[in-house]
């Protein structure tokens, strides 16, 4: 009990679940196994199953060894029987001969006795010679029959272990899905809603949700399985009853490893097998609840029988679950009440604090707004200054108007209606047109730009677009395409400078 006293509530709950799954009443052994696996319930339960599998394999090997040792012992006995049979024949003949000799010696007539004594060994030796092949044949026949008997009886030992030996453990969800798929293929889609998970998970969910758990185990080797599945489990009456009572149903085939271990844990002896499991008071002094088997139905049963048995169990044990549900609902209601009270208090406190903070927030918002406006104004002024510097830089780097050679003569109609004609070299990029239009007002003013430099951290945006009216063509400020490559600009063209709207410029 000292070990139980050292456990916290969570560990006690895990201990109850472990004992419910493994049907173990040994508290110390269960605590030791859980502690070994750092209180990981699934690993601890899995170790029990793996240990059971190891015991089954060991038992099968032991049975095979017993069978082989029995066969060896029987073979040795047969050999001894064969040898002793031959010896007994010889001894019998000798004994006969000796008896005959003794009787002849008692005869009053010596001549007749000696003649009879000489003839009898000869006759007996001839008789033994004639019967000897029949003795050998009998011994050989007996040995063959004994060997055949052992050969036919040996599978009865090993076949039991083979049928009981489950398949290798697989993912519980995969096994549950396969069980459901095979059931629906054979018997249709009318059936209880089988839990799609492992047995331990079903136990945990039934415990958490305070529900009854119905375990259904079936074996393909039993003749009653097909009729039970087709007429009982597929009964709409039973399916509706399980749904109305909110029963959690877990099913498995004992050819699968987990279902096989469950059958061993629940001590199933006849199939189909049903077990009703629910929360029951623990036998320990802690007074905790554990999942326990409260009823079991072995062999074929009708839907009405299962429903009647289930109703009896619910009447007998449903009070515990109802009480726990009421306690859970009471705790939930108290929790919601505390939550609502806390929420009301927080809202009241928030309202009071809001009044106190309102003036400060307004001052901070106003200060922040003024700060952002000032920063935006500074950025605007800095951008305007860099823009002017860049335009001065364009004027300074703009090449002089060529007078001869491969040139294009272009006529611009500016946004204010003014017309400007200028020549450009054919190898200049299209962006040279934009640079000229951008710098033209400064060129026209005649301002000195010899000391102009390119601004840093600045990306220039043109506030206009150059187009050709007929046909309408928009010329982008490309840095790769040259004037002479665009046939619509060569050797001359009339272009319109279309100023962008303020909103469009702002969006850019």
With beta carbons less than 8 A apart as the criterion, state whether 220 and 252 touch.
no
User: What pLDDT, on a 0 to 100 scale, did the predictor assign at position 508?
Assistant: 43
pLDDT for the residue numbered 81:
44
Which pLDDT does position 163 carry in this prediction? 40
Q: What is the pLDDT of residue 126?
A: 57
SS3 (DSSP) at 407:
strand
Q: Could you state, in chain order, the average pLDDT of each consecutive group of 10 residues for the chain (508 residues)?
A: 71 79 77 85 75 48 34 41 42 36 36 41 53 68 62 38 50 92 93 93 91 94 92 94 94 92 90 92 65 91 94 89 88 92 92 89 92 93 91 87 86 91 91 92 83 87 90 90 87 89 48
DSSP summary character for residue 194? B
Record: fold of 172-328: Glutaredoxin (3.40.30)
Element of type H or E holding 298:
strand 289-298
Domain ranges of the chain: 40-164, 172-328, 398-507
Any idea what DSSP says for residue 231? I
- Rounded CA gap, 288 and 279, in Å? 10
**Helix-strand-coil percent breakdown of the chain, rounded to 5?**
65, 15, 25
- Record the pTM: 0.43
Residue appearing with tokens 């000391």: 451
Tell me the chain's radius of gyration from C-alpha atoms.
Answer: 53
Those residues with Cβ within 8 angstroms of residue 340's Cβ, 6 or more apart along the chain or in another chain: none
Q: Which helix (H) or strand (E) holds 252?
A: strand 248-253
Helices (H), 192-282: 199-209, 224-227, 236-244, 257-265
Q: Are 81 and 88 in contact (CB under 8 A)?
A: no
Confidence at residue 306, expressed as pLDDT on a 0 to 100 scale: 95
DSSP letter string over 322-372?
HHHHHHHHHHHHHHHHHHHHHHHHHHHHHHHHHHHHHHHHHHHHHHHHHHH
Q: Please tell me the distance from the alpha carbon of residue 283 to that of residue 294, in angstroms, as a whole number.
A: 15
**Which phi and psi (to 5°) does residue 287 adopt?**
75, 15
Specify the pairing of strand 464-468 against strand 419-425. Answer: unpaired
* Fold (topology level) of 398-507: Ubiquitin-like (UB roll) (3.10.20)
Cα separations (Å) of 163 from 58, 167, 172, 351, 431?
Answer: 15, 10, 21, 74, 88
Contacts 24+ apart (CB under 8 A), 177-182: 179/251, 179/252, 179/253, 179/256, 182/253
| Tokens coding 431 | 């962006």
Cα–Cα distance, 440 to 394 (Å, whole number):
10
């Amino acid at each position: 009990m000292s070990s139980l006293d050292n456990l916290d509530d969570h560990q006690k709950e895990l201990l109850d679940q472990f004992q419910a799954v493994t049907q173990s009443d040994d508290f110390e052994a269960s605590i030791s196994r859980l502690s070994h696996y750092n209180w990981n319930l699934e690993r601890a339960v899995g170790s029990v199953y793996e240990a059971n599998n190891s015991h089954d394999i060991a038992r099968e090997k032991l049975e095979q060894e017993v069978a082989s040792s029995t066969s060896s012992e029987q073979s040795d006995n047969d050999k001894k029987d064969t040898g002793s049979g031959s010896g007994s024949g010889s001894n019998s003949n000798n004994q006969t001969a000796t008896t005959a000799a003794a009787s002849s010696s008692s005869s009053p007539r010596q001549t007749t006795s000696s003649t009879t004594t000489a003839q009898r060994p000869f006759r007996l030796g001839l008789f033994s010679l004639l019967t000897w092949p029949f003795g050998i044949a009998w011994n050989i026949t007996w040995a063959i029959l004994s060997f055949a008997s052992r050969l036919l009886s040996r599978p009865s030992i090993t076949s039991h272990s083979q049928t009981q030996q489950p398949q290798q453990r697989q993912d519980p969800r995969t096994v549950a899905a396969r069980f459901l798929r095979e059931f629906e293929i054979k018997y249709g889609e009318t059936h209880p809603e089988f839990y799609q998970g492992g047995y331990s998970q079903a136990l945990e969910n039934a415990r958490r949700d305070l529900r009854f758990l119905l375990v259904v185990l079936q074996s393909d080797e039993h003749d009653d399985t097909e009729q039970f599945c087709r007429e009982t489990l597929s009964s709409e009456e039973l399916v509706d009853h399980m749904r109305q009572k909110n029963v959690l149903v877990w099913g498995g085939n004992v050819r699968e490893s987990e279902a096989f271990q469950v059958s061993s844990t629940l001590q199933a002896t006849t199939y189909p097998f049903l077990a009703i499991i629910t929360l029951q008071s623990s036998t320990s002094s802690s007074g905790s609840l554990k999942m326990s088997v409260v009823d079991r139905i072995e062999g074929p049963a009708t839907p009405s029988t299962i429903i009647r048995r289930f109703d009896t169990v619910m009447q007998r044990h449903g009070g515990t679950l109802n009480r726990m549900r009421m306690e859970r609902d009471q705790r939930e209601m108290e929790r919601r009440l505390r939550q609502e009270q806390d929420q009301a208090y927080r809202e009241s406190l928030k309202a009071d604090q809001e009044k106190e903070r309102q003036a400060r927030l307004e001052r901070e918002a106003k200060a922040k707004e003024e700060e952002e406006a000032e920063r935006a104004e500074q950025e605007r002024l800095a951008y305007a200054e860099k823009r002017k510097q860049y335009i001065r830089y364009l004027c300074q780097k703009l090449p002089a108007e060529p007078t001869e050679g491969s040139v294009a003569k272009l006529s611009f109609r500016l946004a204010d209606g003014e017309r400007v004609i200028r020549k450009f070299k054919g190898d200049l990029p299209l962006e040279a047109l934009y640079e000229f239009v951008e710098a033209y007002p400064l060129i026209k003013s005649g301002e000195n730009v010899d000391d102009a430099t390119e601004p840093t951290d600045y990306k220039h945006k043109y506030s206009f677009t150059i187009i050709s009216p007929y046909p309408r063509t928009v010329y982008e400020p490309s840095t790769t395409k040259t004037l002479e490559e665009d046939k619509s600009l060569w050797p001359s063209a009339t272009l319109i400078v279309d100023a962008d709207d303020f909103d469009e410029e702002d969006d850019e």
